[in-house]
A and B are shown apart, each in its own frame.
Chain A
């Protein structure tokens, strides 16, 4: 829980999120037009999507399955009977004059997800509901000084609206919630979670209150499209509301927009603030009925979900919660790790994967899917360390060369002659040479200056070109230096 210090004392915040997630499907929710992103304006529009007179919706089976899959992944209640309703309002990119959505009888009821907070702790955020609805088209306001252009390509694309309970108490929790939700959606393959392309958008409800007091009046900030912005919106909006109240004002329930350039929220300028959506069951669409068997089949087809995987990684691989959380955050990461760890040192693998590989990918803004190094290739490197062919320090150089050249660890070690010196005779020769050069230091050591041991290790390592096996070096050096 975040505490906001105001002029008049402490404040807490209450946040609820409505996440719109585009369902991964080939065609739209109620028509056969393509749902793909990025086509030329109005090319993926049918007579149904443009709401021509007499056109009727026919529901996409796969979209319903995807919503169910998601609901099950959220551990939520599945409603075997649900109803599509019309939400009536006028807007330039809403061709029917209503959005087909679900109202009092959604397909998915209450559920919960466990979010992972930066400090390693977790918190349960409850889900209020998940319903299926149509997306609107797109209005382009900045193409012409006095006109708005309308593209209906998105009109009718299937969305899941996932509504949380007002359980969120800090911007960190909100960000963690969105991340976790995205992880789950990607695991079950129902939404690609691509926030830049608008596949996932958040409406954020924020209110402030004195710690543990009743909820205050909330404002809704619409269409926030990145995790970073979710964080910023809540920070800004909390401080705005606190300042407003402390200055003697009152928060009015309203819809606000996030101005990314100015980094602030502002009230929508459109006249329509007092909405009256006049929801009623859509007479074009009979009730959606699902059988227990159908739901069970989908439940059985679900993959291992992130939380279960995390528990298993901690139990089976002995990983920390922190490492496990990183590894399970994407299915592809988890799969990579499991392949890497097979028959190898789990902890060593986790370290190399997280610190080195993910670190390097992160720096170049890449995903694990874009990794130039496969699990097998990273495994070979780990093996070279485990069987003492190279040291951990040399391994870092080899890893850098692998990234740079695309060559395998073995080839690099051979080409560069990086194999550790494990030949006792050769190593003894190097030690003898160093001891000869540093005769006075040897004397000092032997007279009790133990601290000089590290100095000798460094000198010998340097003379070996870093290739000395550290364990052997230690043992031999200790023997030789002994008085």
Chain B
């Protein structure tokens, strides 16, 4: 089922990407082309097939509980668009 503008608006909002009306008009056909294309998977029988999450066949490797990182505030803040007194700064958030 092709996407409508309302759905694209909702998805764009979830993804926090602002689309102007014009860009959204341009975006919609491409999205629908892709979603129409991937629709073909629905005809494949996957009963009893375990989903494959990764190409990696390993299981989770665990590391020792040791403090060996951090203490690099300047490096952490080096690329910040705005920082103050060691904090990152954003517009006031009202909870």
Contacts and interface: CB of A to CB of B under 8 A. Distances in A.
User: Is chain B in direct contact with chain A in the complex (CB below 8 A)?
Assistant: yes
A61 B64 CA distance: 6
A1 interface: no
A462 B79 CA distance: 82
B93 interface: yes
Nearest to A148: B93
Interface stretch (A25-33, A119-127, A332-340): A25-33
B91 interface: yes
A287 interface: yes
How many interface residues does chain B have, given as a range? 35 or more
Contacts of A288: 59-60
Contacts of B18: none
B67 A32 contact: yes
B62 A26 contact: no
Contacts of A150: 87-90
Interface in A247-277: 257, 268-270, 276
B65 A50 contact: no
A78 interface: no
Interface stretch (B1-9, B19-27, B33-41, B69-77): B69-77
Given A61-B65, A281-B53, A287 B60 contact: yes
A46 B89 contact: no
Contacts of A43: 70-71, 73, 86
A147 interface: yes
Given A32-B70, A60-B62, A152 B54 contact: no
Interface stretch (A34-42, A206-214, A430-438): A34-42
A139 B92 CA distance: 10
B67 A62 contact: no
A144 B30 CA distance: 44
Q: Which of B16, B60, B93 has the most CB of A within 10 A?
A: B60
A362 B94 CA distance: 39
Contact of A276 (B14, B90, B91): B14
B12 to A, nearest CB: 13
Contacts, number: 136
Nearest to A60: B65
Interface string B43-79: 0000000000110101111111111111111011100
Contacts of A31: 69-70
Nearest to B64: A61
A50 B60 contact: no
B67 A33 contact: yes
Contact of A46 (B54, B69, B93): B69
B85 to A, nearest CB: 7
A9 interface: no
B92 A46 contact: no
B70 A144 contact: no
A286 B59 contact: yes
Contacts of B56: 286
Nearest to A151: B87
Given A32-B69, A42-B87, A141 B63 contact: no
A269 B16 CA distance: 18
B70 A146 contact: no
Q: Which of A25, A42, A281 has the most CB of B within 10 A?
A: A42
A191 to B, nearest CB: 15
B94 A270 contact: yes
A269 B94 CA distance: 7
Interface of B: 14, 16, 53-54, 56, 58-73, 75-77, 84-95
25 contacts: A32-B63, A32-B68, A33-B69, A42-B76, A46-B69, A46-B76, A58-B61, A59-B62, A60-B62, A61-B62, A61-B63, A140-B87, A141-B92, A141-B93, A141-B95, A147-B92, A148-B91, A149-B84, A149-B87, A149-B88, A150-B88, A269-B95, A286-B61, A287-B53, A287-B59
